[in-house]
Amino acid sequence: MGTTELRGEIEDFNYAYADALDCGRLTEWPTYFTEDGFYCIRSRENADAGLPVGLVYCEGMAMLLDRIDALIHTAMFEPRYYRHMISNTRVLGVEGGVIRSESNYMLLETLIDQNTKILQAGKYVDEFVKVDGKLKLKSRDCIYDSLIVQTALIYPV
Amino acid sequence: MGTTELRGEIEDFNYAYADALDCGRLTEWPTYFTEDGFYCIRSRENADAGLPVGLVYCEGMAMLLDRIDALIHTAMFEPRYYRHMISNTRVLGVEGGVIRSESNYMLLETLIDQNTKILQAGKYVDEFVKVDGKLKLKSRDCIYDSLIVQTALIYPV
Amino acid sequence: MGTTELRGEIEDFNYAYADALDCGRLTEWPTYFTEDGFYCIRSRENADAGLPVGLVYCEGMAMLLDRIDALIHTAMFEPRYYRHMISNTRVLGVEGGVIRSESNYMLLETLIDQNTKILQAGKYVDEFVKVDGKLKLKSRDCIYDSLIVQTALIYPV
């Protein structure tokens, strides 16, 4: 399979992933990962320094499920809308069944009575594998440029 | 035709549609619709509640033409630039010749002496059909997250 | 080669181009151009009026190299991150080996302790040729909607 075709598949994956989050179908989120899936949100500053510490750190399905469960039960005091804009998807290489890829993302947030703003911009550094013919995330490292203004609620990006 | 190929066609359509609006070629806009084409702009809040009321509501070519005619003759007191960023196009299904699809959009606005800002972010909920081999919108439901700041001018998104 | 396939290739090109700039690999930038490559950044107002004057104007490889060399040696008083979001790529035509194409771009900027903001939004008006089977820019005309707030540092877009 060519690189452009593979990019198309990854884009399809990312757009479905984003739609689940933007529409609040949070329980779908872990299904985008493999059983040993890794997920992390950390700042570009830390990533550049090789530091693994992040806002969110999940290793394996149990932690991914825990994360989303905590989020579902978090009280949100102000209603808000999220919307992902994902672009610039690049296939970096395929080796031993692992597809390395990067994409740029923006997470837009709209609070009632406020203008839409960029809550977070950054890049996904991803490793995909195919499970039963479908792409799954073996690893998604979300590296954000932005300072996150509210840390009470860490929504997946 | 595969889904990825179809997404490519819809993206081509959306990018041409956006360019017509961004460059001010407003009379082109109705040509992107079928004769019985439907177009609506409404808030996510209303859409979630199943309410059809919207900022703009057009059923059929006569109303689409009326809409654009009104807009062309509206006095604009401040010059401004628009730019659409369309991403996350998803093909949801094809049934009886009707292609259901969604895309995320941002409408950027730049006023003279001001920074570019996000005027509106939202999603297109679309139904396409092919007329003489070319895609046309049978229905475009623009569901915005953002509160629109100025309602005097309702530009198509 | 079909237009959709060609769009895929141009997107691959643009995403690699943007990644080089966003990651600060500035010396890569001239390699995306032909030997006689043209690069220009100018306002939409000037472009609409047919004026060639711009913030940045480079004709040929020597000027492209000069430009990037100046930038590398410019003192930057505040650390900042850049991120390109490129979308809405349109293939306009292919004639005599020259591919005419347009894309929309946003350049996001994040300064330490500030929210991510849209530094510049605009469109690339491009001419590509193939050199040894790979796309190169014969001409990239960056036409921005936004007023640029700081002109001390003109980063390529």
Each domain of chain C, given as residue ranges in start order, spans 3-144
End-to-end CA distance of chain B: 28
Domain B3-144 has CATH 3.40.50.1400: no
Please write the tens of the pLDDT for every residue from C37-69.
999 999 998 898 888 777 788 999 999 999 999
The pLDDT of B90-98, averaged and rounded, is 96
pLDDT in the model for residue C74: 76
Average pLDDT, chain B: 90
The residue of B105, B146, B148 whose CB has the most chain A CBs within 10 angstroms, and thus the best one to mutate to test that interface, is B146
Q: Is the pLDDT score of B152 beyond 80?
A: no
Q: Is the pLDDT score of C72 beyond 90?
A: no
Q: Is the pLDDT score of B150 beyond 90?
A: no
**Residues 6+ away with beta carbon under 8 Å from C93:** C99, C100
- pLDDT band at residue C3 using 50, 70 and 90 as cut-offs: confident
The three-class DSSP label of residue C148 is coil
Biggest distance spanned by C-alpha atoms of chain B: 50
Q: How far is B12 from chain C (nearest CA, A)?
A: 7
- Greater confidence (C146 vs A140) lies with A140
| Single pTM value for the model | 0.94
- Structure tokens belonging to residue A95: 């080796």
The verdict on a CB contact (< 8 Å) between A85 and B90 is: no
> What DSSP state is assigned to residue A36?
E
The verdict on a CB contact (< 8 Å) between C90 and B115 is: no
Contacts C117 to A, Cβ<8 Å: 118
- Structure tokens belonging to residue B29: 């806009």
| Nearest Cα residue to B126 out of B113, B136, B114, B112 | B136
Q: How far is C82 from chain A (nearest CA, A)?
A: 8
CA pair distance B153, C145, nearest whole angstrom: 19
Window 21-50 of B, Cβ < 8 Å to A: 44
- pLDDT band at residue B153 using 50, 70 and 90 as cut-offs: low
Query: In terms of CA atoms, which chain B residue is nearest residue C123?
Result: B83
pLDDT in the model for residue C5: 85
Q: Is the pLDDT score of C152 beyond 70?
A: no
Please write the tens of the pLDDT for every residue from C131-144.
999 999 999 999 99
Please write the tens of the pLDDT for every residue from B50-71.
887 777 889 999 999 999 998 8
The pLDDT of C97-117, averaged and rounded, is 93
pLDDT in the model for residue A77: 62
Q: Which parts of chain B fold into alpha helices (H)?
A: 3-22, 44-48, 61-72
Q: Is the pLDDT score of C18 beyond 80?
A: yes
pLDDT, one tens digit for every residue, chain A (157 residues)? 677 789 999 999 999 999 999 999 999 999 999 999 999 999 998 898 888 777 788 999 999 999 999 888 876 667 789 999 999 999 999 999 999 999 999 999 998 778 899 999 999 999 999 999 999 999 999 999 977 655 555 778 8
